[in-house]
Structure 1
Amino acid sequence: MTRTLYSLFFTLCMPLILVRLLYRAWRAPAYAKRWSERFALGGDIRSEGIWVHAVSVGESIAAAPMVRELLRRYPQLPITITCMTPTGSAQIRKLFGGQVGHVYLPYDLPWLQRRLLRRLQPRVGIIMETELWPNLVAECERAGVPVVLANARLSERSANGYQRVSWLVRPMFAALDWVAVQSQAEALRFAALGVDKSAMTVTGSIKFDFRPPSELLAQAANLRAGWGSRPVWIAASTHAGEDEQILRAHQNLLRQLPDALLILVPRHPERFDSVARLVSDAGLGQVRRSQGGTPAATDAVLLGDTMGELVMLYACADVAFVGGSLVPNGGHNYLEPTALGLPVLSGPHRFNFVEISDLLQGAGALQVVADGRALEQAVLQLLNDARLREQAGNAGKAVVEANQGALELLLQGIGQRLQH
């Protein structure tokens, strides 16, 4: 009955959802395309195999090592990856090309999810992190499709939000066949929401198993070689309200280090142009990565306005600040710059990655700054002290290596479901 009310409410909201989609299409034209897929029509679907859902860019990147290994271990099983955003879609195509099928996940109405599953007929469904929808999970249960929640994470804030609608989500959580959860604290939160403890394994985060490809590192080395010996720091995955603080920090930093270069990478592509205007308004010379230019001596900022190059740009830097943390967005993946041996800085808002950030901070690999002024001081100290950078970078790499192995545990669990 509760899911019926949810579906009715979702149906009544569809006009508003479509208006929002039109607005997003106005902001980012890619949202104007492939609407039929959002109603479970069309798309590149490869049936009777493995279905993976990765909501957007971050989840697609996190899923990549798992998908590559599934392709290697089960070459007879086709893989289809669903997502929700054009940026996620572009990332999937960049990562896998035609190796996998790909389509947008439809809206969470029972008849749309049923249509998708009839077309997919998957042997197993793998949902990355916590992108759960009540009708999607219910229709998988109805169709006999085992659902794995991979690299599952659940912050205290998200858990509290789910508790407020527990009448709706408890059956959804209880229906999950297996949850490969990142930490014991998160396992307790999942259990409180209805996941059977016997259906959970604490595997750690598969993001610890990230290994940068050698060709990517070579590309970064070639790019960096063209910039001379100037000090470089990166502010990655930034959100609205952070860029202004970062640019002020860089302006002040330039008084001490006149040749310092900031690589500024906004989280969302629809903000690329507005952030470029912020850089110009700050009176800083810039070059846009999308235009392929090399920063001149007068350029203080390289704007990372391309998709799929974040790790390569991290590898060009001496110090990394991870965004979404000076504003209350909860932070982003700290492990990519850590695996590259960079000292990592974060703002105070880390609720999406509490366990990982605490682990890195305790090891001396991550430093938390309160605001833009503290960010400036921390960057200056690190750029001026090669030994300090090396110590923090080595500490981070040691943490990453000590916590690897989650991917193999995840693959073993998926393999068991494929055998049933």
Structure 2
Amino acid sequence: MAISLALSAYLAFSARATRYAERKLADRLAAGKEDEDRLDERRGIPSEPRPKGPLIWFHAASVGESLSLLELIRRMGEDRPELNFLVTTGTVTSAQVMAARLPAGAVHQFVPVDVLPWVRRFLDHWKPDLAVWTESEFWPALLTETRARAIPMVLINARMSKASHDRWRWFLRPMVRKLLRKFDIAHVQDDITAGYLRRLGLPAERLHVTGTLKEGAAALPVDEAERTRMARHLNGRPVWLAASTHEGEEEKVLEAHIQALRVNHRLLLILVPRHPNRADEVAALIDRHRLSVARRSEGELPDTDTQVYLADTMGELGLWYRLAPISFVGGSLEPIGGHNPFEPAALGSAILHGPYVTNFVDIFQRLTEAHAARLVTSPGSLAEAVTDLQNPDKAAELAHAAWEVCSAGADVTDQALEMLLDRLDSAPRLAP
């Protein structure tokens, strides 16, 4: 009885919540969290036609989750050229990244807000043949309506934090139990997540611990001509990278760079904020530290006097990881949760990180056990690590160990690919 009451109450509210959802959308738009030109997509109104033929729908939370899908989508498209792909996400940044990175035969849309009329409008148009979730935040109306249409549903690359588990367990356990049972199969990243999902009600026989899909992701792309041009321009100058930094971290990174400059005055820091819309704020911070700066977004290149190169553009991390033998992975000196360390590992850059890595705790643990990354906790320890790794042998040893950890899990994508194609082949085809 509790199961039906919890979910029924939510769905009853969702069916009549369009005015409430419109107010929330307006608030998010005012806060810069929505794309005004594509706001209708959040109402379930498509901005693209449905392609003819079978359609696989992938839903991801944001940038990290959506990027982990790219290699899987590429390989599915190679194996089955007749397939089409829809990727939905909920953040403006993820939409920008997907626009630049999705392969041919794939389209991006913002996921509809979890309001039943909008969800139904979305599904009426797209009619996916298979629905694939790549996150562990479960939207009840979206899941319920998808299953009601007999669309096969699977969960891949799942990871659940303790906080998320506890929230579901103590307040909404009856609801999440019913939602989880809508998935036919679940590939999860680690034993901890598997335990959480079993406790919340997902049958054990549907659970498979496969590791993180990010392990099988292709290396970040690069414009090879631009890499060659930048490498010639730097002309062997010592470089280190601070990638995907957040508010509060740039201050510490710049303090570390000032200390490292006392040992090597030629050292260049390439600083890549996670959100380029913060670039003016970061540039002002660099000026306050009395460091000379050049900005990528303005077409500038670092000269011999430049101490910080502010790479305030989207989609170029593949370039910077290839140019920098040492990379600090941001989101880890502040309680953000860290970012994907396999991106620098796959491109031969030695990894430094802070203590806040809950988003990738299992990966960082494996890197630590393999002596494949270094933990830093302050500007001083970051400066010390950057200085020490100016020794090319030490940087190469660390980078090679990380590459071995990264490549050891490449079969995760193989397993996901095989499972998804099997589910597609065994499912009844829906008429578009």
TM-score, length-scaled by structure 1: 0.93
What is the CA-CA distance between 1:31 and the residue it aligns to? Answer: 2.3
- Does the 8 Å contact 2:273/2:312 carry over to 1? yes
What is the CA-CA distance between 1:264 and the residue it aligns to? Answer: 1.0
Alignment of 1:273-352 (within 5 A): 273-352=280-359
Aligned to 1:128: 134
Aligned to 1:354: 361
List per-residue Cα deviations over 1:145-178 (Å, max 9, x = no partner). Answer: 1122221122333322332332332222222122
Matched, 1:139 2:145: yes
**Secondary structure of 1:33's aligned partner:** helix
Matched, 1:157 2:163: yes
Aligned to 1:59: 65
- Does the 8 Å contact 1:50/1:77 carry over to 2? yes
What is the CA-CA distance between 1:55 and the residue it aligns to? Answer: 2.9
Aligned to 2:242: 235
Alignment of 1:25-104 (within 5 A): 25=32, 31-46=35-50, 48-96=54-102, 99-104=105-110
What is the CA-CA distance between 1:333 and the residue it aligns to? Answer: 0.3
Aligned to 2:112: 106
What is the CA-CA distance between 1:8 and the residue it aligns to? Answer: 6.0
What is the CA-CA distance between 1:106 and the residue it aligns to? Answer: 0.7
Aligned to 1:202: 209
Matched, 1:5 2:9: yes
- Does the 8 Å contact 2:294/2:302 carry over to 1? yes
* Stretches (4+) displaced over 4 A: 7-10, 213-218
The 2-side partners of 1:183 and 1:287 are apart by 42
Matched, 1:410 2:380: no
Change (3 A) 1:110 1:291: same
- Does the 8 Å contact 2:21/2:113 carry over to 1? no
The 1-side partners of 2:324 and 2:236 are apart by 11
List per-residue Cα deviations over 1:177-215 (Å, max 9, x = no partner). Answer: 221111222211221222211112122222222332675
**Secondary structure of 2:109's aligned partner:** strand
What is the CA-CA distance between 1:15 and the residue it aligns to? Answer: 5.2
Alignment of 1:181-220 (within 5 A): 181-212=188-219, 216=223, 219-220=226-227
- Does the 8 Å contact 2:220/2:318 carry over to 1? no
What is the CA-CA distance between 1:362 and the residue it aligns to? Answer: 0.8
**Secondary structure of 1:306's aligned partner:** coil
TM-score, length-scaled by structure 2: 0.91
List per-residue Cα deviations over 1:274-295 (Å, max 9, x = no partner). Answer: 1121112211111112223210
What RMSD, in angstroms, separates the aligned Cα atoms of the two structures? 2.0
The 1-side partners of 2:46 and 2:99 are apart by 17
What is the CA-CA distance between 1:89 and the residue it aligns to? Answer: 1.5
What amino acid does structure 1 have at the position aligned with 2:400? N
Contiguous gaps of at least 5 residues in structure 2 = 427-432
Aligned to 2:251: 244
Between 15-24 and 149-158, the greater mean CA deviation after superposition: 15-24
Percent of aligned positions with the same letter in both sequences? 34
- Does the 8 Å contact 2:221/2:318 carry over to 1? no
- Does the 8 Å contact 2:222/2:318 carry over to 1? no
Between 210-219 and 31-40, the greater mean CA deviation after superposition: 210-219
What is the CA-CA distance between 1:239 and the residue it aligns to? Answer: 1.1
Change (3 A) 1:191 1:308: same
The 2-side partners of 1:371 and 1:331 are apart by 15
Change (3 A) 1:325 1:16: farther
What amino acid does structure 2 have at the position aligned with 1:100? A
What is the CA-CA distance between 1:20 and the residue it aligns to? Answer: 2.6
What is the CA-CA distance between 1:365 and the residue it aligns to? Answer: 0.9
What is the CA-CA distance between 1:98 and the residue it aligns to? Answer: 5.4
**Secondary structure of 2:69's aligned partner:** helix
- Does the 8 Å contact 2:231/2:323 carry over to 1? yes
What is the CA-CA distance between 1:36 and the residue it aligns to? Answer: 0.9
**Secondary structure of 1:167's aligned partner:** helix
- Does the 8 Å contact 1:153/1:186 carry over to 2? yes
The 2-side partners of 1:247 and 1:9 are apart by 49
Aligned to 1:389: 395
Change (3 A) 1:5 1:273: farther
What is the CA-CA distance between 1:356 and the residue it aligns to? Answer: 0.4
- Does the 8 Å contact 2:188/2:208 carry over to 1? yes
The 1-side partners of 2:269 and 2:11 are apart by 47
What is the CA-CA distance between 1:247 and the residue it aligns to? Answer: 0.9
The 2-side partners of 1:90 and 1:104 are apart by 11
